[in-house]
Amino acid sequence: MTGLPSAWRSVLPHLGYDLPADLTPEGSGGPVVATVPLELIRQSTSRREFWPIPEPVLAEYRRYRPTPLWRARRFEAETRATVPIYVKYEGGNISGSHKFNTALAQAYYYQRAGFRELVTGTGAGQWGSALAAACATIGLACTVFMVGGSLRDKPYRGSLMRLYGAELHASPSALTAAGRKAAAGDGGNSLALAIGEAVEYARADPKRAFCIGSGETYSILHQSVIGLEAVDQLAALGADVDTVVGCVGAGSNFGGVALPYFAAARNGERDADTALVAVESSATPKLTRGVYAYDHTDSTGTGPMEAMYTIGSGYAIPASHSAGLRFHGAAKVISAMRHRNQIQARAVGQRAALDAGRTFARTELVLAAPESGHALAAAAAIASGRDGHRPRRGVLVCVSGHGLLDLSAYDKLLAGLPEDAPADEGGLRAATAVLRAVPPTEGG
């Protein structure tokens, strides 16, 4: 097995343009006071390409990295693939998710900045579990607001967080004004609300900091270890791929596996014909049916507005087992690349995702989380030529999440999960009509 990278690799020097600057929301009283450590801000804005991984973080990475990569031959046969499918598996660490890569890094930087407690919102609970484990490792307190519907469906993710010492609250909660307002209405069912509650709660104590696991450019940078390892592991096998697939909630899974390929191609280290395919839930189709506009990242409306592909932070996202993908927007770097056609996007329904997860479990003996089932479904369709894209060398897909904590979703599949209802077109139009489009000079 090849070694662990000693540095993260940034895609920013290779984009060919600057990411649009964030906007301050009207009526917010001015810019929000930042609690993000300066080093993380630098990682999100600098054109420096390689960022040495701090030794304390690297020491923790060595406990579970490099992660496995293998050719999924039985999955190929079952799905009638005409080219190899290679799997990069990120579900083997204690959190069961790639999110642990950035959780460890963020906990390290926040502790160095003087904070004593990290607060976050989580959808399916993978990020919450990762942050809880990282805080326990680094020595920080941790508070998590988890989407209530997801917590009811996945109670053992909550148990995992509490096992690591985290304080857990179902969202909407009575602990925050945002939660109480939502509970008085329709109850709320979104990651944006859970994040909004976390933001509000964190602001009440200067030793607390809100942190987020997927949408920020620095969190995607930390995930570059996935793609960097995969490039070397495939080379060690004498193999290569021309399609890279990952699922997208905000973008760290996909960005982690795919963007190192983009950087390598732009730097002349490999052919530039690799297709990078971001796969989202059809219940939250920001990259395939959303608009490129400035939108809020949470339901409080007080944080900076980012340029993103979005279905609107006010869109009522229906409940589904793709909980970790049910964020209304995509990360600004992923959105900018989509806007410039540097990446592709697909949307997959939860039935197809769970079917792919079941097939993968039967053939490869690994039970993926439903989120990664979306990527597996797309990878199978691409490798078999069913979606019109015909790779020649092979497909690489990132699989994350230990699906044993998602058995309620698979139970419902076995019981005859109803067909997916498409996202409501009228609701999408209404939720995005009020947003300011990104001007061509900024995003085009």
In a domain, 409, yes or no: yes
Q: What range does the domain containing 83 cover?
A: 57-96+220-429
Edge-to-edge strand list for the sheet holding 167-171:
167-171, 141-147, 117-122, 208-210
In a domain, 33, yes or no: no
Task: Check residue 106 and give its pLDDT.
Answer: 98
CATH code (residue 265): 3.40.50.1100
Q: How many structural domains does the chain have?
A: 1
Low-confidence residues in the chain, pLDDT < 70: 1-2, 27-34, 186-189, 299-300, 302, 320-323, 442-444
In a domain, 81, yes or no: yes
| Contact between 346 and 279 (Cβ < 8 Å) | yes
What is the full DSSP assignment across 112-160? HTT--EEEEEESSSHHHHHHHHHHHHHT-EEEEEEEHHHHHH-HHHHHH
In a domain, 118, yes or no: no
Task: Check residue 297 and give its pLDDT.
Answer: 84
d(CA 225, CA 2): 12
pLDDT tens-digit profile of 4-34? Answer: 999 999 999 999 999 999 998 775 544 444 6
In a domain, 120, yes or no: no
Which amino acid belongs to residue 396?
L
In a domain, 425, yes or no: yes
Cβ atoms within 10 Å, residue 30:
6
Task: Check residue 31 and give its pLDDT.
Answer: 45
In a domain, 25, yes or no: no
Question: Residue 326 is encoded by which pair of tokens?
Answer: 């049910």
- Per DSSP, the three-state class of 15 is coil
What are the CA-CA distances from residue 384 to residues 82, 178, 392, 416 (Å)?
5, 46, 11, 26
In a domain, 436, yes or no: no
Q: CA Rg, the chain, in Å? A: 20
Task: Check residue 32 and give its pLDDT.
Answer: 47
Which residue's entry shows tokens 């990664």?
372
Cβ atoms within 10 Å, residue 333:
23
d(CA 297, CA 231): 32
